Structure 1
Amino acid sequence: MRLVDGAREMMIDGLDRIRQECGIPTSFPPEVLDAAAAAAARTPGAEHRDRTGERFVTLDPASSTDLDQAFAIEQAGDDVILHYAIADVGWFVRSGDALDREAFERAVTVYLPDERATLYPTVLSEGAASLLPDVDRPAVVFAVRVAPDGTPRLDGVERALIRNQAKLAYDTVTPADLPDGFAELHRRIQIAEAARGAPRVEFPEQEIARADSRLRLHFRPRLESEEQNAALSLATNMAVGEALFAAGTGLFRVMPDVDERRHRQLRNSARAFGLDWPASTPLDAFERSLPRDDPRTSAFLIAVRRAAGGASYAPFEPGVRPWHSAVAATYAQATAPLRRLQDRYVVEAALAVANGDPVPDEISQAFQELPAAMSQGDQRANRAERMALDLAEAVVLSGREGEIFDAVVIDESDRGVEVQIVEPAILVRLSAHRVDPGDEVRVRLESVDVERRSVAFQRVG
């Protein structure tokens, strides 16, 4: 979620309280800062092959400075080869050093509307390790061969020195800016997803904006360039996941399928948003059919994310095929090491496996320890982001006490009835009788407490 049009001033105190309540760090210990400064001064050596003459580019939000990924694309017969350069965080951070120990405590970068708590000090994450434009940077380059049917295969992994030739932005990039084969690569990944029945979607952001002298909470649909760029990471992470699984090692991102009860809830959500979901259409096909520029689509995709439950991490286990329901495949994350702790270890394992070397013992041991560290970090980040959303909802609804809103019942349990308010798109729980999932109701906003990040509704019809 991000803030626009002056809403930050209304939320800054609440966000400071959220950081304190959730234990979100606001600075790094001096020894970690010293270690980061020393690491940033390291010069890549002979193990980094010089690829600075190749045209690698990045594609990110215009304001981003923590650039994990750069890419180049070539055609090889019927195949498209993606050269995906990932920030070589392992060159700067070593297992067991002060930076690594601090990263284990943080696990992920935490994004709140006003600022972020980075995984590594910014001298690395937005400096020496970031694939910034027009400077030479160490990277780990994955060669991913994508067949005409969209199947990705890991062809090689190497350390290299690259130069980002152009920092492209999602909202201004044109097809002419991108390497030849970019659109074709995305098309192939889409074909493969449809064949697998993968419901993978990139979820929208929530924004706070001013409208008619009041604040409004709404969803910002993702741009086509964002969707296309996500396909590069997907292809790479799938190829890495298969390579590690075949080698009997690795750490995998896993997520269960949406169960029958939550599937019914999603059908009620679709009805709430006025979306026509034919009974014979599977969830994945329905998601892909929705128009991305419709705010109702954004609200429904948020409901899908909640219904799927949380993803987690699992180390390799003999005889067990790791499964990620949103991808409908075996999947490992290796493409965001500046923002996720575990990616650095997966990158190192992929380097070893692709070059026929044994995975270092400290990497294999970390695969057993990382699920707990990542779970703790993800839970802390998710809790803070959920609190920030509750705060935003309270801010948006403040001063609207007594108003009546249209809603649809999503679920009922011994804890009450869960309803989806249509506009603004807010999910709330309240007491109600003689209702069934799917029923249309009207609810009145009874109270708002911005300090406690809470709102209370009552059914009135």
Structure 2
Amino acid sequence: MRLIDSEGALARGLSDIRTQFQVPAGFPAEVVAAAQSAKDHYAASRADWTATPFVTLDPASSTDLDQAFALARDGNDIVLHYAIADVGAVVADGDPIDTEAWARGTTIYLPDGKASLYPPILSEGSASLLPDVDRPAVVFTVRVDEAGNSRLDGAVRGLIRSRAKLAYETVTPSDLSPEFTELSRRIALAEDARGAERVDAPEQELVPDGGDGQFDLVILPQLESEQQNAALSLAANLAIADALFAHHTGLFRVMAGPGDWAVRRLRHTAKALGLIWPKDATLAQFERTLDGTNPSHAAFRSAIRRASPGATYAPFTPGAVPWHSAMAATYVHATAPLRRLADRFVIEAALAVANGQPVPDTLTASFAKLPEVMADADNRAAQVERAALDLAEAVMLKGREGSRFDAVVTDVDERGARIQLCEPPVVARIDAKDLLPGAALKVELVSADATTRQVRFRRVS
């Protein structure tokens, strides 16, 4: 829905969010200078992969391209050659770019622009896998069998040349190799066998509308091309995770599943959105019935993500199996080094393991430090995202004071009752007196304040 922002509340609010959460506005001069002079430290020893027809697939507006792929068949296996931007070749430990990256941890996205992990001259320029130019990359070779199980078959520093920058919104089957859809099908088959939850949900987003300072508040369902492309990263990350764990090293992405209380709340959320969740179906089973193109289903998938205790990072620990509940597997992040600090170090460890070399002590030391750094970065990014949505909701509801909405109580705690409006899908809190989770009620909007990013409702029935 379009947000009418004639008084500029969104622009002011987004500026305030940047100030409150100390979102960097640019890069120090020494970091920019280091990025401008950055060189490929492995240029003389790279394998030549420029004859391989790699392509990228991302949102149309993306220019920080981490991944390019080429697919082939070998007997019953699909072979994925996955080229990942080789950030480790142009950023040295302890240099100004590295120091700044450790302070940032991740790229932060806001509706009016992003705060990149690395200077744009690298992340959107010389390190990005843009089409029709030679670029340094780490090429992982991953085999995917008929059951969807993936295995790391090699890793090498190479020079690639992407043939095309494909976009989720416009890509057609003729743009892609025939193995692309089949690989996605195989990865989904393996997910089903593992009992993975598959909760890469469409998200509520605040999207610029026409460059006139207006925005749309929308839930953008994942396109089929986006879901299929995610299967490539999943196959690679699972294969790399298994290889690192087998060699007693690595930094893993771990997550516990939603607790019983969270599942109960999700049942109430489903009710608020008009979804029928059979009593005898588990969360994973119900989630698989959802259609990502349906806005109500998309809203519920986002609620699943919010109900999770959140994913964290953990270094290899003897005697412990790192586990990601949503993936139902051991899992790493290794495919987005332009946007996440940790990926660069996981890639370096994977290169060592795949080539029979010891993992340097410096990498092991980094794995011990990264969980705290990434947790802080992820928390800040999440707070910024939530603040932007709170702002959007306040601007959207401004002027509708006194209007009444249908809502459902999703849970009750010491802060009151959390409610979800049935339309629009806004989450808020009210006094919890005499309310129980699952209760349907009607509420009236008391106030909507864009300055504080708060909306306040009262129960009317």
TM-score of the superposition, structure 2-length normalised? Answer: 0.96
Aligned-pair CA distance for 1:437 = 1.0
Deviations 1:397-416 (A, max 9, x none): 11111100100010112221
The counterpart of 2:164, out of the listed 159, 163, 166, is: 166
| Residue matched to 2:343 | 343
Give yes or no for contact 2:41–2:90 (8 Å, CA) kept in 1: no
Where does the alignment leave 5 or more consecutive residues of structure 1 unmatched? none
Corresponding residue to 2:182 among 181, 184, 204 = 184
2-side partners of 1:6 and 1:167: how far apart?
34
Structure 2: gaps (5+ residues): none
Structure 1 residue 10 displacement after superposition: 4.3
Distance 2:55 2:3 in 1: 29
Structure 1 residues 4 and 126, CA gap change in structure 2 (3 angstroms): farther
Task: Note the C-alpha offset of 1:383.
Answer: 1.0
Shift of 1:268: 0.9
Which position in structure 1 is the counterpart of 2:442? Answer: 442
Alignment of 1:51-450 (within 5 A): 51-208=49-206, 217-450=217-450
Matched-pair contact (CA < 8 Å) for 1:216–1:424: no
Structure 1 residue 161, shift from structure 2 partner: 0.3
Displacement after TM superposition at 1:7 (Å): 8.7
Give RMSD over aligned pairs.
Answer: 1.8
Give the structure 2 partner of residue 36 of structure 1. 35
Conserved? CA contact 2:237–2:332, under 8 Å: yes
Partner of 2:164: helix, strand, or coil?
strand
Deviation at 1:6, TM superposition (A): 7.8
Write the deviation string for residues 113-143 of structure 1: whole angstroms up to 9, x where unpaired: 0000000000100000000000000000111
Answering whether residue 26 of structure 2 is matched by residue 23 of structure 1, we say: no
| SS of 1:59 mapped into structure 2 | strand
SS of corresponding position for 1:143: strand
Percent of aligned positions that are identical:
55
Give the Cα–Cα distance (whole angstroms) in 1 for the partners of residues 240 and 385 of structure 2.
29
> What CA distance in whole angstroms lies between the structure 2 residues aligned with 1:206 and 1:26?
24
Distance 1:277 1:270, change over 3 A: same
If the length of structure 1 is used for normalisation, what is the TM-score?
A: 0.96
SS at match of 1:46: helix
Give the conservation status (yes or no) of the 8 Å contact 1:95–1:362.
Answer: no
- C-alpha displacement at 1:4, in angstroms? 8.6
Asked if structure 1 preserves the Cα contact closer than 8 Å seen for 2:171 and 2:225, the reply is yes
Listed one character per residue, the Cα deviations across residues 91-112 of structure 1 (whole Å, up to 9, x for unaligned) are 0001111111100000000000
Q: Relative to 1, partners in 2 of residues 1:42 and 1:413: Cα closer, same or farther, differing over 3 Å?
A: closer
- Please report how far the alpha carbon of residue 70 of structure 1 lies from its aligned counterpart in structure 2 after TM superposition: 0.2
- Return the alpha-carbon distance in structure 1 between the equivalents of residues 370 and 249 of structure 2: 14
Q: CA separation of 1:5/1:138 partners in 2, compared to 1, >3 Å: closer, same or farther?
A: farther
Distance (Å, rounded) in 1 between the aligned partners of 2:41 and 2:245: 33
Counterpart residue number, 2:44? 46
- Displacement of 1:43 in angstroms is 7.2
Contact 1:217 1:424 in 2 (8 A): no
Shift, 1:297, TM fit = 0.6
Structure 1 contact 3–208 (Cα < 8 Å) conserved = no
d(CA) in 1 for partners of 2:272 and 2:403? 19
Q: Which AA in structure 2 matches 1:34?
A: A
